[in-house]
Amino acid sequence: MRGIQTLTSSLLLVSAIAGLSLLESQIQVFSFGDTGIDARFFPRIVLGLLVLAVLIRLFVHRKTPDMPLGYVSSWLRVGLAAAAVTLGLFLMPSIGFLASAALSGFVTALAFGERRLMFSVGLPLAVAAIVSFGAREGLNIPLP
């Protein structure tokens, strides 16, 4: 693995190729005559151009130094926060916005290195409570 830029470019390339291969199954076509200007016309051009552009990028930068992937601990911190938000979203319909938002905030604070209970638990809980109250009572948003 060369570095993060090559990894991201490769992911974009795979996604664009997947998009092109799924074009027929994901887009139903109703023909307007024989012009070929149907619902697949524009996506085919754009995805094709994306594949071409990413291939050119990978070729042009094949010998230039890439940005390093970074430390495992850095990725773990991001992974921890992303996992906490994902868990919060899964639980939101059952435990409600306040609890799941506070949980996401709590784990994010921990990932940032906050160890004091008042700031790691108290602050996210207070922010989540204020936001929930304000959204429900002030903005009439029906939070879960």
Partner 1 sequence: MLVDAFFALLDIWVLVAAVSGIVAGIVIGAIPGLGPTMAIALLIPVTFSMDPIPAITLLLGVYQGAIFGGSISAILLNVPGTPSSAATAIDGYAMARAGQGGKALRIALFASVFGNIFSCLVLMMLAQPLASMALNFGPAEMATLMLFALTVIILFGGGAKLDAAIMVLVGICAGIIGLDPIEGTPRFTFDNFSLENGLQLIPVLVGLFAMSEVFLQLFNRPKVSAGTQEVPELLPSKVGLIEMWRMKTSLFLSSVIGTFIGILPGIGSTVPAFMSYSLARSRSREPSSFGKGAPEGVAAPEAANNAVTGGALIPTLALGIPGDAVTAVILGAFMLQGLAPGPFLFRDYGVEVYAIFEALLLSSIPCIIFGLLLFRVAVHVIRIQPRHLFPAITILALLGAFSVNNSMVDVWVMLGAGVVGFLLRRSGFPLPPLLIGLILGKSLEQSLRQALLTSGGSLEIFTASPIAAGFLVIIALCLIAAVVFHLKARNPSEKSATGDV
Rounded to a whole number of angstroms, the minimum distance from the CB of residue 84 to partner 1 is 9
Judged by CB, which is closer to partner 1: 14, or 37?
37
Judged by CB, which is closer to partner 1: 14, or 27?
27
Query: Is the torsion defined by CA of 38, 42, 43, 47 positive or negative?
Result: positive
Separation CA 102–CA 94 (nearest Å): 14
Rounded to a whole number of angstroms, the minimum distance from the CB of residue 130 to partner 1 is 9
- DSSP state at residue 105: H
| Of 80, 127, 133, the residue nearest 108 (C-alpha) | 80
Rounded to a whole number of angstroms, the minimum distance from the CB of residue 125 to partner 1 is 10
Separation CA 6–CA 9 (nearest Å): 5
Judged by CB, which is closer to partner 1: 63, or 113?
113
